[in-house]
Structure 1
Amino acid sequence: MIYAFDTYYYEDFAKTVCIAFEDWLSDTEKEIFTEKTEIISDYESGAFYKRELPCILSLLSKIKLQENDIIIVDGFVTLNNDGKMGLGGYLFEALDQKIPIIGIAKNDFSAPDDKRRAVLRGESKTPLYLTAMGIDVDDIKKKLEKMHGNYRIPTLLKKLDQLTRE
């Protein structure tokens, strides 16, 4: 199963949503998980994970992960060639490096990262940015290119973003 997570921050709470789907070509989700939590950390430039990781871990505690499951986060797994981790890297560590984590970001990060891949989808001239730990990023790049949807953002990831804002 593939579990994609996103969190949206309202004035007094955070809403985290997870869409579970069976494979990279899926056009509909198998299950949706949602949770509203207290915001426990203000936004801190360069340390986004401090704000979002607790939200993801809280919702993950309600999901029974299996061997071969994959998690997608909205953001980066790695940030540079010096080993600095993004949200996904901290999640990979929190899960004892047992579950592959894929980061899909809409905007690039300024520092060079040999593990980051730009992915063009559909007719879009603007790429998505892909990073990963626990799985080969080039294999995932091919899968992301083929995900359901004709536009830059795959169908299920667009739905995920919309659900966090409802």
Structure 2
Amino acid sequence: MIYAFDTYYFDDYANTICIAFEDWTSEIETETFSEKTTITSDYESGAFYKRELPCILSLLKQINLKENDIIIVDGYVTLDNDGKIGLGGYLYEALDKKYPIVGIAKNGFASPDFQRREVLRGESKTPLFVTSKGINVDEIKPKIEQMHGNFRIPTLFKKLDQLTRI
């Protein structure tokens, strides 16, 4: 199973959603998980994980992960060639490196990272940025390209983003 997470921040709470789907080409999710939590940390530039990681870890308590499951986060897993990690990297460590984590970011990051791949989807000239730990990023790149939807953002990721804002 593939589990994709995203969080949206309202004034007084965070809404975290996870959609589960069976295959990279799936058009619809098999299950949805949601949780509203108190915001535990203000936004801190360069330390986004401090705000979002607790939300994801809390929602993961509702999910029975299995050995071959993959987790996707909205953001980066690795940030540079010097080993700096993003939200996905911290999640990978928090889960004792047991589950592959894939980061899909919509915005570029300035530091060079040999683990980062750009993915162009549909007719978009603007890439998505893919990073990972626990699974080879070059194995993931074509899977992101093949995800359902004709636009830059795959169908399920667009739905995930919309669900967080409700």
TM-score scaled to structure 2, two decimals?
A: 1.00
Q: Tell me the C-alpha RMSD between the 2 structures.
A: 0.3
Q: Residue 111 of structure 1 aligns with which residue?
A: 111
Partner AA of 2:131 in structure 1: T
Q: Residue 44 of structure 1 aligns with which residue?
A: 44
TM superposition shift of 1:60: 0.2
Partner AA of 1:13 in structure 2: Y
Partner AA of 2:91 in structure 1: L
Q: How many residues align?
A: 166
TM superposition shift of 1:101: 0.1
In the alignment, does 2:4 pair up with 1:20? Answer: no
1:1-166 to structure 2, matched below 5 A, reads: 1-166=1-166
SS in 2 for 1:8: strand
Q: Distance in 1 between matches of 2:89 and 2:41?
A: 19
Give % identity. Answer: 75
Is there any run of 5+ residues in structure 1 with no aligned partner, and where?
none
Is there any run of 5+ residues in structure 2 with no aligned partner, and where?
none
Partner AA of 2:136 in structure 1: D
TM superposition shift of 1:77: 0.1
Q: Distance in 1 between matches of 2:120 and 2:25?
A: 16
Runs (4+) of structure 1 moved beyond 4 Å?
none
Q: Distance in 2 between matches of 1:140 and 1:118?
A: 11
Q: Distance in 2 between matches of 1:50 and 1:86?
A: 10
